[in-house]
Amino acid sequence: MEIWPGQAYPLGATFDGSGTNFSLFSEVAERVELCLFDADGTETRVTLPEMDGYVWHCYLPSVQPGQRYGYRVHGPYDPARGLRCNPAKLLLDPYAKAVDGVLDWNPALFSYPPGYPDAAGEASGIETTDSAPHMVKGVVINPYFDWSGEARPRTWYHDTVIYEAHVKGLTARHPDLPDEIRGTYAGLAHPAIVDHLTRLGVTAVELMPVHEFVSDQHLLDAGLTNYWGYNTIGFFAPHHAYSASGALGSQVQEFKSMVKTLHSAGIEVILDVVYNHTAEGNELGPTLSFRGIDNAAYYRLMDDDPRYYRDYTGTGNSLNARSPHALQLLMDSLRYWITDMHVDGFRFDLAATLAREFYDVDRLSSFFDLVQQDPEVSQVKLIAEPWDVGPGGYQVGNFPPRWTEWNGKYRDTVRDFWRGQPATLGEFAARLTGSADLYEQDGRRPVASINFVTAHDGFTLKDLVSYNDKHNEANGEDGRDGTDDNRSWNCGVEGPTHDPEVTALRARQQRNFIATLLLSQGVPMISHGDELGRTQQGNNNAYCQDSPLTWVDWGGADANLIEFTAAVARLRRHHPTFRRRRFFDGRPAARGEGEPLPDIVWMTPSGDVMTRADWDSDFVRSIAVFLNGRGIRGTDERGRPIVDDSFLLLFNAHHEDLEFALPPEEYGAAWNVVIDTSGIDVAAQVHAAQTALTVTARSTVVLQAATGEPAGEPEEPPAAVVPDVPPSAAFGVGNGDR
């Protein structure tokens, strides 16, 4: 075999059309062996002949795509000093762009001998059994793909509707998908899935982790698996189990095809990425990759005892974002997914971990600096989950200006409001209007708030209105897992019921949540299957349930709820009133004679403008809000003033029906009811100014000014899911898109 010196960069295995360059960083290595594996598992070792700036490299002109490989790093093994090299352990390339195989959790994967730790907490030696037969391997890929004809949507944040989805969970049970592509990237690109997303007005899918991940040993021993995927081991490789076309590089081509198809439908692809930790866990974890390559460079170790790992994530380790090499890995990964895989953004799991210096999230951390300066990464959608288990915990509102954030305060407030909790009105108003209290002070806009009511981590929407308590028996952890504070309400009965009053209330509450979500300022995020009435039978932490419990049941879909969701999404899409680029001004609070109407006015059910006393009441659970379509600040993409119809939103979270007095004629001479979550027929409902309108208990009514000019020509509505039932009559949705 010819062995050429090759190049230090790019890191990883890079096929250039003729041969493959291999490159690996390790500052502590004394020697590095590249290990090539044939189809039958036969191993050929090649010592990397060159080292430049602690990057070991070679070029093999004979190696082609599909070649499986790994590394063995020779160097010091001294856990007391944070050094854990062990050449007996085959190591996955951190830059591997495809991965083949499944870990079998043989003891050979661990570097410490049986019985560790001993009574003194020390290892008596090093475990030297070869781990290669039990270890996954990297795969050399063909990087070439025909992107011709592809156009990235590049959707503005204020026009964005996000759909959080699991590749397998969304597609595993769809009846229109061929069996061989269910649960795969190809399945997600199938017309049946794409048509459903476009019907809902979705502009971006946020995919739960697709970076190569492994299932935890304790889950496999219990007959379970790491379903969610928050256990990454390969930051460049699309997870092999979601590929219908094989694991020897074909998963890369399939992923790219999925992206191209979604882009052609105007749908962006956002990845939920887990850069805060890896699957190697704490000091008792296996040696799979980073630990054996350069432990101290890639992981945060305890300053006073580097045997142990600093854990801000609850998983055993934290990536060392203070290290230039770990930061390089992270940034290289982000750029790769943007430039080579054409993804449109990232949601960073436990993002606060990446910016931890001491206690608070450091806005001047190296990570934020690099993102800000990078010409590729800085231009895509950047979404933070502003939480970790470090000091300070929840960091919502503390990320830099280019970032948006999962707004957990929005989730909690909207849940509390609709279950009738006291003293929630003021905060509900703040969340409905874009959470200016969190974002406006540092120059961000309403789109900084990623609004959601449910997500993968917690109850589904149907379960949110069906259970007070978690029911996680299937996880086998005696109910210790999952949050106990769900802010849920079962509407009177725990779990399934045939009581018509309870089922009607639950249906109404689901519509309340969807209407509130889609008509709030900011960026709405729908959790997959919520629009179908998906249930996990009260399991609020289904991370280990790769089963029908978590897969979307398309056969049992709630067609009425689908149509309602699509209709409200159309209303949002057609009216810029609901997707403003700037925060409301709200002034003047007290108008002088002849002064124009403010851009927003808050009113009591009696029609009076809200006073401080009204806001401070613990018992007020109902409110009206006027959104002035002629008071939209800013201009459109061509610099023209934005003029829209005005709307009235009537929220009644009270347990009894209430009469709302419509405002004087200056707000609107007449009002059309366009949404009524009670399900009442709104097709012919027109109400004059200063008349009364009864709003059903625990429901929302949206009215559109009948005298305003339309925002634009209406689009053709999507085909009804149930063609023989008029949507306006059945679901309480009128023609507000007109």
Residue 346, strand partner residues? 271, 382
Q: For residues 24 and 34, give the distance between their C-alpha atoms in angstroms, rounded to a whole number.
A: 9
Residue 672, strand partner residues? 686, 704
Residue 50, strand partner residues? 57
Closest CA to 273 of 226, 229, 326: 229
Q: Which H or E run contains 614?
A: helix 612-616
Reply yes or no on whether 349 is catalytic.
yes
Give the list of residues 6+ apart from residue 610 with CB closer than 8 angstroms, or none. Answer: 602, 603, 604, 623
Query: Is-cis flag, bond preceding 588, omega within 30?
Result: yes
Cα separation values, 7 from 21, 66, 72, 332, Å = 7, 21, 19, 17
Q: For residues 397 and 419, give the distance between their C-alpha atoms in angstroms, rounded to a whole number.
A: 25
Q: For residues 307 and 303, give the distance between their C-alpha atoms in angstroms, rounded to a whole number.
A: 10
Residue 659, strand partner residues? 694
Q: For residues 201 and 206, give the distance between their C-alpha atoms in angstroms, rounded to a whole number.
A: 14
CA gyration radius, the chain: 28
Residue 549, strand partner residues? none
Q: For residues 129 and 131, give the distance between their C-alpha atoms in angstroms, rounded to a whole number.
A: 6
Q: Given the DSSP bridges, would you call strands 232-238 and 268-273 parallel, antiparallel or unpaired?
A: unpaired
Q: Compute φ and ψ for 60, nearest 5 degrees.
A: -115, 105
Query: Is-cis flag, bond preceding 663, omega within 30?
Result: no
The secondary structure of the chain in percent helix, strand, coil, rounded to multiples of 5, reads 25, 20, 55
Q: For residues 697 and 420, give the distance between their C-alpha atoms in angstroms, rounded to a whole number.
A: 11
Spatial contact of 388 and 353, defined as CB atoms under 8 Å apart:
yes
Angle formed at CA 427 by CA 421 and CA 429, multiple of 5 degrees? 110
Cα separation values, 154 from 203, 381, 481, 642, Å = 10, 9, 39, 21
3-state secondary structure at position 97: coil
Active-site option among 100, 349, 388, 737: 349
Closest CA to 667 of 693, 697, 647: 647
Active-site option among 385, 416, 644, 737: 385
Alpha helices per DSSP H over 98-204: 167-171, 185-188, 191-199
Q: Which residues of 633-669 are buried (b: 16+ CB within 10 A; e: fewer)?
A: eeeeeeeeebbbbbbbbbbbbbeeebebbbbeeebbe
Query: Which residues are part of the catalytic machinery?
Result: 349, 385
